[in-house]
C-alpha cells in the first residue's frame, strides 16, 4: 500500500518550470498571444519569403499611393510607390528588435544594479537606490525625448535613450527579490562554504529571483515597442527610408485625409504585436502566481 502511494507521487511529481509551463498552457488568451506573436515573428523574420519587393529601394513612382487590394500590392503602395506589405514585414524586424534589445539592455543593467544593491546593502545600497529613485522620478518619455534631442536621430540612439530611462524599475524589482532570497539557508551555506560574492549572486541568488524578472522583461518589451514607435513617429528616430512601423506612421500622417490606410495598417501591426506580448506577459504572471493555481 505504502509502496503504491509513493509510486503514484512519483508519477505526479513535476518540476517547478514544468508546473509553470502547464499553468501557462491553461491560459487561452496567453496561448492566442503566443500564436499571434509567433506568426508575426515568422512573417517578419522570413520577410524575403513572403514578399518580392525591397522595402527601401523598390520605388515605382508610376504606382504610388495604390489602394490596398491592387494586383501585385496586397496592402497597396505608399507615397514613393513602395509596397506597404513589404515595408510592414521589414518594419516589423526593426520595431520588434528595438523592443527586445531595449528590454534586454534595461533588464541587464537593472538586474546588475539590483543584485549589487540588494546583496551588499549598506552604503552601496543606499547610494544606488537613491540614484534609482531619482531616475524613477523622471517623467519617462519626456526624458527620452530630451535625450534623443542631444544624442541625435538614429535607431541606435532610440535604443540607448529608452534603455537609460527603463532600467530603474528592474533594479528596484531585483533588489527586493535579492533581499528576500539572500536570507535563505542555502545562501548562508554557500557563504560558509567560502564561495565568492560573484558566484553566490549569479549562481545561487539570481536563478531564484527569475520569475518576476521574466514577467517584467516580457511586459517591458511591449512598452518599449510603443515608446520606440512614439519616438520614430515624432521623427526623432531612424531616417525616413528605414522600414519601421513608427516611421511608416509618421509618413502616413501626411496622407491621412485621402489615404488613411497608410496610417491604419502600421498602427494595427503595432497594436497586435504589443497586445500579443501583453497577453503572453499576463499569462506568465498568472502562471507564476501560486494563489491563482487551482
Partner 1 sequence: MRTYIIKRLLQAIPTLLVISFLIFSLLYITPGDPVLIMLGTSDNQTMTEEEYQAAKHDMGLDRPMLARYGEFLTGALRGDLGKSYITDEDVFDTIVSKMPATLILTLAAILIALMISIPLGILAAIRHNSIWDTLATFLATIGTSLPKFWFGLVLIIFFSQNLHWLPSQGIAYPLEDGWLAFFRHLILPAASLSLGLAATQTRMIRSSMLDVLGQDYVRFARSKGLKERAVIIGHAMKNAMIPVVTVIGSEFGSLLGGAVVTETIFSWPGIGRLAMNSINKRDYPMIQGNTLVMCAIFLTINLLVDIVCAWLNPKIRLDKQ
| Contacting residues toward partner 1, per CB under 8 A | 130, 133-134, 137-152, 222, 226, 229-230, 233-236, 249, 253, 256-257, 260, 263-264, 267, 270-271, 274-275, 278-279, 282
Task: Tell me how far, at minimum, the Cβ of 291 lies from partner 1, in Å.
Answer: 12
For residue 88 the three cell numbers come to 510592414
Q: Which is nearer to partner 1, 143 or 210 (CB)?
A: 143
Q: Which is nearer to partner 1, 44 or 221 (CB)?
A: 221
For residue 233 the three cell numbers come to 513617429
Q: Say if CB 113 and CB 128 are below 8 A apart.
A: yes
Task: Tell me how far, at minimum, the Cβ of 273 lies from partner 1, in Å.
Answer: 8
SS (H, E, C) 174-189: HHHHHHHHCCCHHHHH
Q: Which is nearer to partner 1, 205 or 225 (CB)?
A: 225
Rounded to a whole number of angstroms, the CA Rg of the chain reads 23
Of 65, 35, 57, nearest to 277 by C-alpha is 35
- 63 to each of 57, 99, 189, 191, 265, how far by Cα in Å? 14, 33, 71, 70, 19
* Angle (CA) 208 214 218, round 5°: 175
Task: Tell me how far, at minimum, the Cβ of 254 lies from partner 1, in Å.
Answer: 11
Task: Tell me how far, at minimum, the Cβ of 270 lies from partner 1, in Å.
Answer: 5
Task: Tell me how far, at minimum, the Cβ of 212 lies from partner 1, in Å.
Answer: 17
| Residues facing 70 on adjacent strands | 73
Task: Tell me how far, at minimum, the Cβ of 153 lies from partner 1, in Å.
Answer: 10
Q: Which is nearer to partner 1, 106 or 206 (CB)?
A: 106
Q: Which is nearer to partner 1, 58 or 125 (CB)?
A: 125
Q: Which is nearer to partner 1, 205 or 280 (CB)?
A: 280
Q: Say if CB 232 and CB 247 are below 8 A apart.
A: yes
Amino acid at each position: 500500500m505504502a509502496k503504491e502511494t509513493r509510486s503514484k507521487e512519483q508519477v505526479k511529481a513535476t518540476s517547478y518550470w514544468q508546473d509553470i509551463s502547464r499553468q501557462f498552457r491553461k491560459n487561452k488568451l496567453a496561448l492566442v498571444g503566443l500564436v499571434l506573436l509567433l506568426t508575426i515573428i515568422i512573417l517578419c523574420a522570413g520577410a524575403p519569403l513572403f514578399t518580392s519587393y525591397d522595402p527601401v529601394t523598390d520605388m515605382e513612382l508610376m504606382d504610388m499611393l495604390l489602394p490596398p487590394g491592387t494586383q501585385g500590392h496586397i496592402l497597396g503602395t505608399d507615397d514613393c510607390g513602395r509596397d506597404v506589405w513589404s515595408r510592414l514585414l521589414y518594419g516589423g524586424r526593426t520595431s520588434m528588435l528595438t523592443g527586445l534589445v531595449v528590454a534586454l539592455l534595461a533588464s541587464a543593467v537593472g538586474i546588475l544594479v539590483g543584485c549589487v544593491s540588494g546583496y551588499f546593502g549598506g552604503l552601496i545600497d543606499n547610494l544606488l537606490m537613491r540614484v534609482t529613485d531619482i531616475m524613477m522620478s523622471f517623467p519617462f518619455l519626456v526624458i527620452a525625448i530630451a535625450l534623443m534631442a542631444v544624442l541625435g536621430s538614429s535607431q541606435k540612439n532610440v535604443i540607448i535613450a529608452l534603455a537609460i530611462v527603463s532600467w530603474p524599475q528592474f533594479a528596484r524589482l531585483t533588489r527586493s527579490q535579492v533581499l528576500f532570497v539572500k536570507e535563505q539557508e542555502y545562501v548562508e551555506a554557500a557563504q560558509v562554504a567560502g564561495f565568492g560574492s560573484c558566484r553566490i549572486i549569479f549562481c545561487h541568488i539570481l536563478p531564484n529571483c527569475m520569475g518576476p524578472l521574466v514577467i517584467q522583461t516580457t511586459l517591458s518589451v511591449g512598452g518599449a515597442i510603443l515608446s520606440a514607435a512614439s519616438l520614430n513617429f515624432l521623427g526623432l528616430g531612424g531616417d525616413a527610408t528605414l522600414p519601421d512601423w513608427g516611421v511608416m506612421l509618421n509618413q502616413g500622417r501626411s496622407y491621412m485625409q485621402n489615404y488613411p490606410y497608410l496610417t491604419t495598417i502600421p498602427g494595427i501591426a503595432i497594436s497586435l504585436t504589443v497586445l500579443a506580448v501583453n497577453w503572453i506577459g499576463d499569462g506568465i504572471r498568472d502562471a507564476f502566481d501560486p494563489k491563482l493555481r487551482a
